[in-house]
Structure 1
Amino acid sequence: MELDVNLAALWRQARRVSEDIVPFDWTASVVLDPIDIQLSQGKEVQLDDLDVVNGLLSVEGRQVLLFIPDQHAAVDIVQASPEKGKRFHVADCKTLQEMRAKGRFQRYLATNKLDGMFLITGNDSSGRYREVESELRVCMNCLEAVNYRDYAHHSHGRERRGIWTNFEIAEFFNTFSTSFRYLPRNIAPRPGSGTYTDDWAKISADIRSRCGFRCDDCGLDLSAHRNLLHVHHVNGVKSDNSAGNLRPLCADCHRKQPFHERMFVNAKDMAIITRLRNAQRLVGSDWGSVLKLADLSVHGAISHARHRGFEPPEIGYEFAGKDQTVIAEVEAAWPARKIAICIAEKPGIPGWTMLSGAEFMERY
């Protein structure tokens, strides 16, 4: 439901108090929880302190990555060539599992920073101890563990290296945002994206109304959930409101656009989108449709299933009780095989095998 309220009287009362009107800053208004502040600065953790969610690393319901600040190579050399530094981890990969099994507990820091810069420590080339900021490279075993961008199934080393060298933390967090209770909150906009114009709220409302609240990509009708229909700036410039640059997209299609790695969708909203897509018969039974419309959190597992000879799964599969009401939902399922992939709490359905994406890839 959209509200059209005339606030002129309210503004007149405000100006009676003061003519010094300060624009409201949404970014400044966000109050971070103590754990978010700790993670933004780097929280020291032991491997046993971490939770594993869908094969990913988590602290108190937040997705995190893990790195070791102390470097073997000279820190100035790491700054110049990040591939010479220690790898950071984004998944419960075989490297971390081996270290945990051997009882090797180094000084790890967990963080949910998205900018890719790490505070590292060690001697520089002249032997002087320093603390500096530097990029680091992601662990390749982590990419394989969750089959990020089908990394585990690329046969050519050049393709795998391209995924590795072009890895972006924000895009990775975007991919798995529905797996976590809390989304990153200290998010800076992409440099160069600019800000919205003062009349953006009206322009956006007009665009969404004229299209009948239907996504221009997947065709989803969001008349009943209008907040999940966004208006996308095609060229990425938020101040460019020319007609050809504005495209109405559902939240899921919007976050999948280029340079939208800082846009996150929570599990509740994704479940609504998936449920509506199924009700409106928008999800086909072919691999192309499944991979386009499935929750990004299970893309790696679904792609793995394809390589293993599975048929396309049913997306957003629902389990009904005796009275035909829905008692559980999963992200993907193979009813004939009675296998399901879920990212939340696993429902106890007799005769079914319920797995996280990482568990599915380990088993099959």
Structure 2
Amino acid sequence: MIIKLPNFFENNKLNALKEKMGIDRYTYGNYRDCQNQGVRELLNGKGQDFDDINEITPLKDHTLTYNNERVILYIRDVANYGHSDLPRFHIAKCSTLQTMFENNRKRRYVRTQNETGIFYLNIIGGNNVREIEEKLDVCQNCLNILDWDGFSMGWDRAKRDKYVRDFTIARFFEKYPKSLVDSSGYSSINSSVNQYPKNWNEISRNYRAFKNWTCEKCGVNLVNYTSLLETHHINGQKNECQYSNLMALCADCHSKMPMHSHMSNNPREREKIEQVKRIKKEKGIF
């Protein structure tokens, strides 16, 4: 059995409600953004435990990601307590993590985005488990593979230790942003192709009618010359057709928008531009 889903763009009751709320017809919420926000809140606290290293996806720049978020990894459970026994936290798929990936090691990892440098550990002694908060050092192999400030494992120990002491997680996330998702909810993996939607002609006509066939730039009314009024995408993304991203522009004004000089080189568009100029001259619009 085939179930036909409703077209919410054509739901009069829903559109009337959205109009009362001041929301344009083609704007809808973003579930993915809510989902990502939930992940961020979890990662910014104590972090999130997990057992399988393969839940982490390394990027080409070697940084580590989980659910479209860059993360830091460390091993939470420590058998012996002494500074030399404390784990290092990882910011990249270094040689140490590479071995764990290859061996599919099952350990109690924690992924986090906490910038304080203080990590939650379980100190295990016999049958006793004690929870503590401790400052951890960054893994030197990670600094090496990222070429962090030119860091090299070939340096003497004193110089390497100084770079470890000076390293801050906040600065790391400045260089490598936490979120891989942009403000529209898209990542490099799921971003849609920048092309007009199939119902673009309908969207464009409805929007221009909504603007009373009037250019939002110069104010010329083209109700009797509708083909001379065009719909412009403010951010240049043809697939983002919410009303807040659209402008009704006459062909003349449209051709003067940034990155639109090609319109003047198109014979058909050039003819429309000249026609609009004549109409504006007749109406005293300059």
Provide the TM-score with structure 1 as the length reference: 0.37
Specify the structure having the higher radius of gyration (Cα).
Answer: 2
TM-score (norm 2): 0.46
